[in-house]
Amino acid sequence: MISSIVGRRAALGWMLGLGAALLAGSGRGDAAAPRVIRVHARKFIFTPDHIPLRAGESVVFELTAQDVIMGFSVPDFGVRADVPPGMTVRLPATARAAGKYEFLCDIFCGSGHETMNGVIEVT
Ligand SMILES: [Cu+2]
Predicted confidence at residue 24, as pLDDT, reads 46
- Mean pLDDT over 26-54 rounds to 87
Residue-wise pLDDT for 52-105, tens only, equals 999 999 999 999 999 999 999 999 999 999 999 999 999 999 999 999 999 999
Predicted confidence at residue 39, as pLDDT, reads 98
Residue-wise pLDDT for 10-33, tens only, equals 554 444 444 444 444 444 445 678
Domain boundaries, the chain: 1-33, 35-122
Ligand 1 centre from 56 Cα, in Å? 28
Ligand 1 centre from 49 Cα, in Å? 14
Ligand 1 centre from 120 Cα, in Å? 18
Predicted confidence at residue 32, as pLDDT, reads 72
For residues 114 and 92, give the distance between their C-alpha atoms in angstroms, rounded to a whole number. 25
Ligand 1 centre from 54 Cα, in Å? 27
Predicted confidence at residue 20, as pLDDT, reads 46
Q: pLDDT category, 46, cuts 50, 70, 90?
A: very high
CATH architecture of 35-122: Sandwich (2.60)
The answer to whether the CB of 100 falls within 8 A of the CB of 77 is no
Ligand 1 centre from 63 Cα, in Å? 14
Ligand 1 centre from 93 Cα, in Å? 21
